[in-house]
Chains A and B, each alone.
Chain A
């Protein structure tokens, strides 16, 4: 707490300590926001956002809202962002991570509008809030022996009296959200139609399609670029891994078959297929470029 009580207008003068915190953490928050938007990798974005949120949490604490600061860090940074990362890990890295803009003029228009919006709102708020007397919350939540014993008690008092109805409605909202998420994420299956693993794999191999899980971009690639398509075991580009946004490029060719890693490792292979990858025996059922569609799930 670096709040100094100013006697003159009965207001609070923002002290130097708070200014130092602001000027240190403000750029950090800004950098986190910009990093989130600019990161190509969604996981990086999430980490940048965590950065911003932590900074905001500190701002809350500085601004006489220690409870909110704690909630921000625990719930937001802790729970929600973990949820984000969890989903990111489930979905996997995706070709939509591409930063190539596909809508014409979208990026320029968005940036221009964004700058305009920031200028207007910032200028408007600055004009309106210029010279506002900061009353401070000491009278409400006070220190020990004040109107209430601190921030948490003050919030609890208001929350369970004046905002009781909203609080209860919130519970309904949360239960609805939980049920909704379950409904959305749950796939219904007819009782008795559950297939055994044997049947599933038989069905998968009976189709002429890709029998395996789809390769992520770059799984078999020799490059990290999103533009480099994945390779099928026979060395041809995996159509299913083509990026939707960029022209696929062949960054490198497979080395001659004699130098395939598996062979070098001494594992015999037959029929030209890469036995080390060990999924298809004998003949290759790998998709050819252009015919690769979604594998049945």
Chain B
């Protein structure tokens, strides 16, 4: 048992979140996957803070949480407004941004 376990777990969680972003179509679930990715990064930050013996990693993780909170607020508002106009939360339906 070493910190490598935590790091590999974080890597696997991050990958699952990334794949989730790719395969899920519900914008809200996609958002949850993004949150999962952020959380896995937080785990590595906390782990490294402990490894290096400095508290800064925890601070960064704290800021990540704050930013994530702000992002969720704005992101969910965007999803709501898209849902209002398109009657759908599918990310594939919001596909006007193309050539």
Residues of A near any B CB (own CB < 8 A):
12, 14, 16, 18-19, 22, 26, 29-30, 33-34, 36-37, 42, 45-46, 49, 52-53, 56, 59-60, 63-65, 67-68, 71-72, 75-76, 79-80, 83-84, 87-88, 90-91, 94-98, 101-103, 106-107, 109-111, 113-115, 117-118, 121-122, 125-126, 129-130, 132-137, 139-141, 151, 154-155, 158-159, 163, 166, 170, 173-174, 176-178, 180-182, 184-185, 187, 214, 244-245, 294, 297
Bound-state CA distance A137–B58 (Å) is 11
B95 CB, min distance to chain A CBs, angstroms: 10
A1 CB, min distance to chain B CBs, angstroms: 12
Q: Are A125 and B7 in contact (CB under 8 A)?
A: yes
Q: Are A80 and B36 in contact (CB under 8 A)?
A: no
Partner of A87, one of B2, B36, B80: B80
Partner of B26, one of A60, A96, A129, A141: A96
Q: Are B53 and A244 in contact (CB under 8 A)?
A: no
**Residues on the B chain within 8 Å of A155, using CB:** 55, 58-59, 62
Bound-state CA distance A245–B88 (Å) is 12
The CB with the most chain B CB atoms within 10 A, among A19, A45, A245, is that of A45
The CB with the most chain A CB atoms within 10 A, among B58, B73, B81, is that of B58
B67 CB, min distance to chain A CBs, angstroms: 7
Chain B contact residues: over half helix, strand or loop, or mixed? helix
Bound-state CA distance A139–B55 (Å) is 10
Q: Are A97 and B43 in contact (CB under 8 A)?
A: no
**Residues on the A chain within 8 Å of B2, using CB:** 14, 129-130, 132, 134
Q: Are B79 and A36 in contact (CB under 8 A)?
A: no
Can you list 30 contacts pairing A with B, beta carbon distance less than 8 Å?
A16-B1, A22-B1, A30-B12, A30-B16, A36-B33, A37-B24, A52-B39, A68-B42, A76-B65, A80-B35, A83-B76, A84-B28, A90-B80, A91-B79, A94-B90, A97-B26, A110-B22, A113-B22, A121-B15, A125-B7, A130-B2, A132-B2, A135-B51, A135-B52, A158-B55, A163-B63, A170-B63, A170-B67, A177-B71, A185-B77
Instruction: From known contacts A91-B79, A177-B74, infer whether A140 and B54 are also in contact, taking CB-CB under 8 Å.
Output: yes
Q: Are B1 and A110 in contact (CB under 8 A)?
A: no
Q: Are B32 and A84 in contact (CB under 8 A)?
A: yes
Q: Are B9 and A26 in contact (CB under 8 A)?
A: yes
Q: Are A137 and B25 in contact (CB under 8 A)?
A: no
